[in-house]
Structure 1
């Protein structure tokens, strides 16, 4: 039996001062808006990855607060972790080779279908929007043990 191989992806739900949510539209999924994010690189913690991906895709610096959900796409072997994060600084500046559009939108349960047309992305975004409870998250180094980050 071989060792399973999965892709680990991260994304974040971030709002501005007007409580608008930052969404992106990628070239390969241009039928829908989605939360900014991407794949975790080898040796990178989840919180580092979401900060890096968010900055690369949008030009915005964020501070992860906690995890709103963990999701699995068994067909493609993708595990996706969604963070709730705070806007820290920056202006929207997209990477045109990856991101087609990015903008803050007034998103709520009544209009979400206008923006997010894929059901798995909609459920993740609704969970983050509702943020009824954030799950703890820890990143560790081992040998010796060193707690790098804990979000609650």
Structure 2
């Protein structure tokens, strides 16, 4: 079986597990073309069993939202999350990534975002792989925050959301406001 077929099936199966556990979610589909070096790095990860990435919109009992700023985008705030580790489901990835990036433990309550991305090699458009990015809603089970992961500049609770949000949490805010 080709890498494209294996990653397509892995993404399909994981999305099916998530929908069974958390309910239906609209799935954005996107195709991107990566330069050969970037595609090669993604191919290596996919061959090891990497599925994509996951994060969570974490709310505490006071109704505050947990957000982080990263070195790569220091002027915007996003949900804590990170890359999938082979052998775990994306729900496990989200819980682990929240804990590693912020020190906060959480319970996932629902799935609100899914993007199935097809990645094409710019040097050979017949070479493709698939990945999944998901975002959960979650309830904090602890509240002490510490920016713990490499590249995380700051992690904190917000009662009033900042103006500059990354794309996915900004979409959530816009969708919830409708």
Asked if Structure 1 and Structure 2 have the same fold, meaning a TM-score greater than 0.5 normalized by the shorter chain, the answer is yes
> Which of 43, 47, 55 is matched with 2:91 structurally?
47
Secondary structure in 1 aligned to 2:77?
coil
> Which of 100, 106, 114 is matched with 1:62 structurally?
106
Runs of 4+, deviation exceeding 6 Å: none
Q: Which runs of 5+ in 1 are unaligned?
A: 133-152
User: Does the C-alpha gap of structure 1 residues 54 and 119 become closer, same or farther in structure 2, counting only changes over 3 Å?
Assistant: closer
Further displaced range: 13-22 or 58-67: 13-22
How far the C-alpha of 1:20 sits from its partner, in A, is 1.3
User: Does the C-alpha gap of structure 1 residues 78 and 124 become closer, same or farther in structure 2, counting only changes over 3 Å?
Assistant: farther
**Are residues 1:18 and 2:66 paired?**
no
Secondary structure in 2 aligned to 1:30?
strand
**Are residues 1:79 and 2:127 paired?**
no
User: Does the C-alpha gap of structure 1 residues 78 and 55 become closer, same or farther in structure 2, counting only changes over 3 Å?
Assistant: same
User: Does the C-alpha gap of structure 1 residues 12 and 90 become closer, same or farther in structure 2, counting only changes over 3 Å?
Assistant: same
Contact 2:55 2:82 survives alignment (8 Å):
yes
User: Does the C-alpha gap of structure 1 residues 18 and 90 become closer, same or farther in structure 2, counting only changes over 3 Å?
Assistant: closer
- The separation in 1 between residues aligned to 2:131 and 2:75, in whole angstroms, is 20
Q: Which runs of 5+ in 2 are unaligned?
A: 5-42, 121-129
Deviations 1:50-87 (A, max 9, x none): 11110000000001112112024556865210111111
More helix by share: 2
Secondary structure in 2 aligned to 1:60?
coil
Q: TM-score, normalised by structure 2?
A: 0.59
Q: How many residues align?
A: 125
**Are residues 1:29 and 2:73 paired?**
yes
Contact 2:75 2:164 survives alignment (8 Å):
no
How far the C-alpha of 1:122 sits from its partner, in A, is 1.8
* Pair member with larger Rg: 2
The corresponding residue for 2:15 is none
- The separation in 1 between residues aligned to 2:158 and 2:93, in whole angstroms, is 24
